[in-house]
Amino acid sequence: MSGILFNIQKYSIHDGPGIRTTVFLKGCPLSCTWCHNPESQSFQKELMQFNNRCISCGECIKVCRTGALKCNEGHIDRNAELCTMCGLCAEICCTNALEVAGREVSAMELMKELEKDIIFYDSSKGGITVSGGEPLSQGKFTLELLQRCKQMELHTAVDTCGLGNSLMLEEISKYTDLFLFDIKLVDAERHRKHTGVSNEIILQNLRLLSSLGKRIWIRVPIIPGINDDEENIAATARLILSTSGVEQVNLLPYHNAAMEKYRRLNKKYELNDIKIPQKGDMDRISEMYRSHGINVLIGG
């Protein structure tokens, strides 16, 4: 079984307990306007262009078999209709001005890479976290990877938006020690407006994990003007209190560090006018959750 991923982050301390390696799979069924990993959304490989690195040597143009690249006033223009994503341009680029987001790898090959840091997992009580994109969208690959991790007696976590096949989620849960479960908005229509999909299946799958007795950490991105209002916070608190197995809630403040990524992918960034929440804002929101008796952490 092979999957497509766009990043492997070693020595991570924010995606579960201890020191971890986080595997970021490509492809997501949601289209959140605040997504900080736009390269994770598509299920296909994508070319990222770092124009500030380009020295206009023209080597990428020479190796392009379809004529998809041309030089335009000191930077490279790409015709997406002609590009076959062969990756030859990125391979030859001496300044890494062109990079392919996405590579195919088998679960066995990936495990060989993950095993290199077992000493760090063991000493810190860490392990492997499968993230995305959305791991459920590559369910069979995620399942095999988790099974191989458990054969090595590694701690496993899955970071999920919750939208996916419930039967696959139940099977994956057998090999998952901890779920990092994202909750964006509780109201279905507001959720659809800002993510492109309803949250009905998401909430069903959260209840499923709860009924299976799984350990759950809820993650809530705080996006000013979208989900930081008292109505949504109160609704989210009620949802959390009604869900057994939730050990903590991590509030993740919005940031605009991904703006450059959108430019590299030639995608439009929709939230130019949204301000980053300040410490006082995050403290206020966290106190609202704590007033309900919920264990809350900012970040993570």
Q: What is the CATH number of the domain that holds 69?
A: 3.30.70.20
CA-CA-CA-CA torsion sign (214, 217, 222, 223): negative
CATH of the domain at 147: 3.20.20.70
Distance of CA 8 to the CA centre of its chain: 11
Regarding whether 62 and 32 lie in a shared domain, the answer is no
Q: Is 269 helix (H, G, I), strand (E, B) or coil?
A: coil
Tally of domains within the chain: 2
* Number of Cα atoms under 13 Å in the Cβ half of residue 132: 30
Distance of CA 184 to the CA centre of its chain: 13
Regarding whether 72 and 116 lie in a shared domain, the answer is no
CA 126/CA 9 separation, integer angstroms: 13
Q: Give the chain's radius of gyration (CA, Å).
A: 20
Q: Which two tokens stand for residue 244?
A: 């057994």
Question: For the purposes of burial, counting CB atoms within 10 Å of the CB of 68, is it exposed (0-12), middle (13-18) or buried (19 or more)?
Answer: buried
Regarding whether 254 and 168 lie in a shared domain, the answer is yes
User: Any residues with CB less than 8 A from the CB of 193 and at least 6 apart, and which?
Assistant: none
Give the end of a domain, one of 101, 120, 147.
Answer: 101
Regarding whether 128 and 236 lie in a shared domain, the answer is yes
Regarding whether 107 and 222 lie in a shared domain, the answer is yes
Give the end of a domain, one of 83, 101, 119.
Answer: 101
Regarding whether 144 and 71 lie in a shared domain, the answer is no
pLDDT at 257: 87
Residue 34's closest CA among 173, 161, 119?
Answer: 161
Regarding whether 165 and 231 lie in a shared domain, the answer is yes
CA 155/CA 149 separation, integer angstroms: 8
Regarding whether 79 and 226 lie in a shared domain, the answer is no
Quick count: other Cβ atoms within 10 Å of Cβ 6?
A: 22
Quick count: other Cβ atoms within 10 Å of Cβ 66?
A: 11
Q: What residue numbers bound the domain in which 57 lies?
A: 46-101
User: Any residues with CB less than 8 A from the CB of 288 and at least 6 apart, and which?
Assistant: 230, 233, 234, 237
Q: With the CA atoms of 235, 236, 239 and 244 taken in that order, what torsion angle do they form, in degrees rounded to the nearest 10?
A: -150
Regarding whether 150 and 56 lie in a shared domain, the answer is no
pLDDT at 69: 94
Regarding whether 148 and 63 lie in a shared domain, the answer is no
Give the end of a domain, one of 79, 101, 123.
Answer: 101
Regarding whether 180 and 76 lie in a shared domain, the answer is no
Regarding whether 175 and 59 lie in a shared domain, the answer is no
- In the chain, the amino acid numbered 202 is I
CA 187/CA 181 separation, integer angstroms: 17
pLDDT values of the chain reduced to their tens digit, one per residue, 300 residues: 899 999 999 999 999 999 999 999 999 999 999 999 999 999 999 999 998 899 989 999 999 999 999 988 778 899 989 999 999 999 999 999 999 999 999 999 999 999 999 999 999 999 999 999 999 999 999 999 999 999 999 999 999 999 999 999 999 999 999 999 999 999 999 999 999 999 999 999 999 999 999 999 999 999 999 999 999 999 999 999 999 999 999 999 999 888 999 999 989 998 988 999 999 999 999 999 999 999 999 998
